[in-house]
Amino acid sequence: MNRELVKKIFLPLVVLVFVLQVWSGIASIVNEFPTPSDTYVAAFGGVTSEGDELTGVLSDPFYENNQDDKGIFWQVLESLKRVFAGFVLAIIVGVPLGLFVGMSKNAQYALNPFIQIFKPVSPLAWLPLLLFIFQDINMTAIATIFITSIWPIIINTALGVKSVSEDYMNVAKVLRFTPMEKVIQIILPVSVPFIFTGMRLSLGIAWLVIVAAEMLTGGIGIGFWIWDAYNNLNYYHIIIGIIVVGLIGYLLDLMMGKIADYFDYTKRGRA
C-alpha cells in the first residue's frame, strides 16, 4: 500500500490519541469538565459515566420542538445561510470594487487608506453599531459578515488586476479592445485565481465571525447554540459545538479550494 497514504492516516491518529489523553487529564483536574467518553455519549447517544441516558445531539440533528428548540442541523443551517448571504454580498460589492482599485491609480489612492483602516477592525466592534442600525438579528449578522469579509476580496482582486502582464495589455491595445472587453477577456481571466484566493480567505473569516456574532445576537444559529449550552451548564455541547464548527469550516475551505482550482487556468490542462 502507498506509504504516504498510510502516514497520512496513521500520524493524525497518533496525535488524536495524545489529544484525548490531554483532554482526559484536563477533565480529571477541572471540576465538571466533560470527559471524552461522556462527550461522545452526548454526541451520539448512550449512557454517561454518571448513569444518565442521553439522546445524542448528532444522532438526532433534525428535531424541531419549537421555535427556540431545534436540532443542531437547523442551527448550523441558519448560520450557513447568514454566512452565505454576507459572503455573496461581499463578492458582489468586493469584486467590482477590487477591479476598480486595481485598474485605476486614482481609485487606489482614494480608497487604500480606508481599506487599510477598516480591514483590521474586529467584527465584534461593528456588531453594536450594526445592531443599532438594523434592530434585527439576521440583518445584523449578515451585515457584520459582509463588512468583515469584503476586505480580502477587494485586496486580492486588485492584486490580480495588477498582475496582468503588460504584454497581454499590448495585445488588447493592438486589437483595439474596448475597456469592457479588456476587463472580460483579459483582466478577469488573469484575476480569477486571485479573486478566489480572496474569496477563500473571506469565507474563512465569515465562518469565524458568525459564531461570535450569534453569541451576541442570540436566536437560532450554531454560535448561540454554543453560548446557550454554556448558560445551561451543558458543557458537552460546547465541545461538540467546537468540533462541529471546525469540521464545517474545514469543509467550506475544501469546497472553495476545489472551486478555485476549477477556475484557475494555471491548474487546468496540465498533466
Partner 1 sequence: MSKFLSLEGIEKRFPIPGKEDYVAVTDVNLEIKENEIISIIGHSGCGKSTLLNMISGLDAQTSGAIILENRHIQGPGPERAVVFQNHSLLPWLSVYQNIEMAVKKVMPQLGAHELRQRVEQYVSMVNLDHAKDKLPGEISGGMKQRVGIARALSITPKVLLMDEPFGALDSLTRANLQEHLMRIQQKVQNTVVIITHDIDEAVLLSDRVIMMTNGPQATIGEILEVNLPRPRNRVELQQNPEYIRCREAILSFLYEKFAKDDE
Closest approach of partner 1 to the CB of residue 192, in Å: 9
Taking alpha carbons only, the member of 259, 243, 191 closest to residue 57 is 243
**Residue found under cell 461581499:** 90
Closest approach of partner 1 to the CB of residue 162, in Å: 17
Give residues in contact with partner 1 (CB under 8 A). 165, 167-168, 170-171, 173-177, 181, 185-186, 189-190, 265-266, 268-270
Residue (59 or 170) nearer to partner 1, CB: 170
Closest approach of partner 1 to the CB of residue 260, in Å: 14
Sequence-distant (6+) residues with CB within 8 A of 132 are: none
Closest approach of partner 1 to the CB of residue 99, in Å: 17
* CB distance 35 to 27 below 8 Å: yes
Closest approach of partner 1 to the CB of residue 265, in Å: 3
Residue (83 or 195) nearer to partner 1, CB: 195
Evaluate the CA torsion angle 198, 201, 206, 209 in order and state its sign. Answer: negative
Residue (23 or 168) nearer to partner 1, CB: 168
Residue (4 or 166) nearer to partner 1, CB: 166
Dihedral class, residue 115 (left if φ above 0, else alpha if ψ from -120 to 50, else beta): alpha
Question: What's the one-letter identity of residue 198?
Answer: G
Instruction: Name the strand (E) or helix (H) holding 70.
Output: strand 69-70
Residue (27 or 164) nearer to partner 1, CB: 164
